[in-house]
Chains A and B, each alone.
Chain A
Amino acid sequence: MPTLDSRTPAGPLAEKWTKRKTDLKLVNPANKRKYTIIVVGTGLAGASAASSFGELGYNVLNFCFQDTPRRAHSIAAQGGINAAKSYQNDGDSVWRLFYDTIKGGDFRAREANVYRLAEVSNNIIDQATAQGVPFAREYGGTLANRSFGGALVSRTFYARGQTGQQLLIGAYQSLMRQVELGKVKMFPRTEMLDLIVIDGRARGIVTRDLVTGKVESFLADAVVLATGGYGNLYYLSTNAKGSNVTAAWRAHRKGAFFANPCYTQIHPTCIPRAGEYQSKLTLMSESLRNDGRIWVPKKSGDGRTPDQIPEGERDYYLERKYPTYGNLAPRDIASRAAKQACDAGLGVGPGGLGVYLDFSDSIKRLGAKAIGERYGNLFDMYNRITGENPFAVPMRIYPAVHYTMGGLWVDYDLMSNLPGLFVLGEANFSDHGANRLGASALMQGLADGYFVIPYTIGDYLARGGLAKADNGHADVKAAEAAVNSREKKLLGINGKHTVDWFHKKLGEIMWENVGMARTKESLEKAIQEIPALRDQFWRDVKVPGVEGEFNQELEKAGRVADFLELGELLSRDALDRNESCGGHFRSEFQTEDGEAKRNDAEYAYAAAWEWTGENKPWTLNKEPLVFENIQLQTRSYK
């Protein structure tokens, strides 16, 4: 089985990034304008990369499928962003942030990347503040912090419940400045539908203009994907409706390895599903667990309203099982505990699929005003969706698919195995191992875009060797032809079921068999059912309209077609990993008290899957995870 080299610099952990930066080749400033870089995505990762490239003098072509770059899904992040500033004087440090992240990821991430992430985290806060991001402040004018799951220090910076929005708007504004200066050319409502590879290097993309339907190719010296996560594979997730895997998947089919797809994060605190027509699930930020207490009735089938259940008859199960971390236990643990409670018949609300998140103690202790200041907009959102007031009755919450730790494999420089293809943010697999800690995705996206890729891409470009390529190149024509014929095919099937019908079916298969708990049997079932559904899709889907127009059903059809392939790979990866770690819980592998049981002897590697062709088995490549600085342990939050 082939092994992969991460090209991590040698030397002590704390000096690796400095060493790499000194060794990197530089592009002469006067030559930067001769290079063109494609950036797909305008979320925190894409916008920060594109604006930084523009500032450095490169020509940038930047794409997103929304109508403006400011709407990328990063906008929805509520809770906050971590950094090792230690402004609270509570013992935080770069090392501690590094350690918490590695441990939170259940020892399945690459040490050197995580250390670099912690190292540059402080720069992010400085950068965002200089952009005018209105972080929450103390009365003295300094920045405020809150706590997030999986940490015993208070290192999370926030802007009310809209941290992602404010960070993204900061990055977007810098991006707009570069657009005005002519360094970045922006292509909103434009979807990447294929990667162009010439002489083994990523050289461009094929896109569809979502307004006119025009299919077109763009060429460049390097391609950067910052296209977000694939949680919508499950149909219902906390992701935005448009979030999809297409860009990454198309690159995968062109040779980029897809790593650890089975590491999916199920978030413990989401508003439960209300009915068949449900189109997405809404997250209630983890920050609520600072002041909310999670409980279920002790008695199965207890029909009383929450206020009528006396203290003694409530089970605050997280506080009971994990006295040290309590309600702030990491997400995978909190989600599984909620599922266990509901499986045991203790769930509340319709269908018994919910647990209480109760603020009454905090309201008694701090007053409704203080709680309103901290979480007002989240309470309002809950109230708008459910019609219930969390000041008066506890919230009902249930886990939902939220984040995907897996993604395209990248080396230390964030380059995939395909030379010239770089992958940033949630779209890559790099920093969160098998479980991501809260407030660490925003940190990673901005670290990648502002402080890592501007250095490493220069090294790639400075090494040269890129042949001239133009739109007449046979590989460009072939990629374009493939996109066109796939669209024609989708529109020509004219079958019985809508795209959404297939997407929901796929979601059901995934949630039932490849969700919070997986078994050999359930995974084998998924591996049978998904290809069958995929065949049915290509025989029986109904996509109305034509290609040369604004056609939202056609957009969705292409995305669902790719999910139907990813679903199979994800299930296979989960079946292959005979251990439980982080978000990947195999029921066969658990400790006596129901915790994940890792198998470090056999599975301390990243699984990077290689596409070998239509209907052919994937090849598994392994990147061994070497831990030189920390001791592998069983995670304990007790």
Chain B
Amino acid sequence: MRLTLEIWRQKGADDAGRFVRYDHDDVSEHMSFLEMLDVLNQKLIGKGEEPVSFDSDCREGICGMCGFVVNGYPHGPQPLTTVCQLHMRHFHDGDVLRLEPFRAKAFPIIRDLAIDRSALDRVIMAGGYTSINAGGPRDANSILVGKKESDLSMDAAACIGCGACVAACPNASASLFTGGKISHLGLLPQGEPERKTRALSMVERHNAEGFGGCTVIGACAEACPKGLKLDFIARMNKDYLAGTLTFREEASGGGSG
């Protein structure tokens, strides 16, 4: 089939950027979206033009490296599907597709469709873990976890850190991402000791990184390729509130004696 692509081209942070039109007449319905772009890039290189930069790695929908906006939808219009798993059979001959990067203050553009999402790492750095060192933990089966809690925790842990939720949100909030991690760990007994302090410091880092606040619009959950639910944001808010209420400076010193 034939497609018309309007692709955001931007050389770097200092370049203003613009949409450029490409006619692509070499598209098979069995291709993935990124394979369709691979073919375009091979042609561009052949013609002596600059290929379109976009990120990808696993191309299996699990690493979270890919992601851009197709006709207004982060990862394209297919629900629960990353753009690397989106196949061309969902499009039609003659379609015009507009491709642009995930846009948010916290995600500077590197080049074309490739962006810098390191702000998400810094949110995890603020407390998205259990503070234990390697070596010497007790037998895994000594910690019992109900199947229901475990399954729900897994639902939250399924986040791939792609940033589509941020791109979809009018406030550019990363609450679904942050709430996902707070819920994943908070639902498990292993995460319980730090549940409230974790929520407090992660939310504060989230805000400091320039992500917006959540006003419960729900666009994030619609765009999320891994089906994370708004409930996780509610859980984050609850733990955050509990964290602010119980917050006090850590006791210092080892005591006397």
Contacts and interface: CB of A to CB of B under 8 A. Distances in A.
Contacts of B87: 384-385, 387
19 contacts: A68-B120, A75-B62, A76-B60, A123-B135, A126-B140, A131-B129, A132-B190, A141-B147, A142-B141, A160-B154, A162-B62, A275-B30, A277-B38, A279-B38, A380-B80, A385-B32, A544-B51, A550-B110, A550-B111
Given A70-B161, A282-B60, 20 more contacts: A67-B117, A68-B118, A71-B64, A73-B57, A85-B140, A127-B135, A131-B130, A132-B130, A132-B191, A134-B150, A137-B145, A137-B147, A140-B144, A173-B128, A176-B129, A186-B121, A240-B58, A240-B63, A282-B59, A500-B38
B234 interface: no
A137 B125 CA distance: 28
B124 A176 contact: yes
Contacts of A180: 125-126
Interface string B17-37: 000000000001011101100
B226 to A, nearest CB: 10
Contact of B35 (A75, A176, A240, A278): A278
Nearest to B189: A132
Given A55-B134, A544-B45, A66 B65 contact: yes
Interface in A211-265: 211, 240-242
B255 interface: no
A391 B114 CA distance: 37
Contacts of B131: 177
B58 A75 contact: yes
Interface string A109-132: 000000000000001011111111
Contact of B116 (A67, A132, A553): A67
B7 interface: no
A129 B63 contact: no
A143 B141 contact: yes
A52 B63 contact: no
Interface string A129-155: 111101111111111000000000000
Interface of B: 11-12, 28, 30-32, 34-35, 38-39, 42, 45-46, 48-51, 53, 55-65, 80-81, 85-87, 89, 110-111, 114, 116-118, 120-121, 124-126, 128-135, 137-141, 143-147, 150-151, 153-154, 157-158, 160-161, 184-185, 188, 190-191
Q: How large is the interface on A (under 10, 10 to 19, 20 to 34, 35 or more residues)?
A: 35 or more
Prevailing SS type, chain B contact patch:
loop
Contacts of A553: 45, 51
A542 B62 contact: no
Nearest to A186: B121
A371 interface: no
Contacts of A67: 55, 65, 116-118
Contact of A130 (B61, B144, B153, B190): B190
Nearest to A280: B59
B32 to A, nearest CB: 7
Contacts, number: 215
Interface string A166-202: 1001001110110110000010100000000000000
Nearest to A188: B118
B59 A279 contact: yes
Contacts of B45: 498, 542, 544, 553
Contacts of B110: 211, 550
A127 B130 CA distance: 11
Interface of A: 48, 51-52, 55, 66-71, 73, 75-76, 85, 87, 123, 125-132, 134-143, 159-160, 162, 165-166, 169, 172-174, 176-177, 179-180, 186, 188, 211, 240-242, 274-275, 277-280, 282-283, 380-381, 384-385, 387, 450-451, 454, 498, 500-501, 542, 544-545, 549-550, 552-553
B63 A71 contact: yes
A71 B124 CA distance: 14
A241 B57 contact: yes
Given A143-B140, A160-B154, A66 B63 contact: yes
A309 B62 CA distance: 36
Contacts of B185: 132
Contacts of A552: 51, 53
Contact of B128 (A55, A138, A176, A283): A176
A384 B85 contact: yes
A220 to B, nearest CB: 21
B158 A162 contact: yes
Contacts of B39: 277
B11 to A, nearest CB: 8
A137 B146 contact: yes
A142 B157 contact: no
A55 B110 CA distance: 33
Contacts of A500: 38, 42
* Closest CB pairs A-B (n = 8): A141-B144, A173-B129, A130-B137, A129-B140, A180-B125, A134-B154, A71-B63, A240-B57
A380 B45 CA distance: 35
Nearest to B115: A67
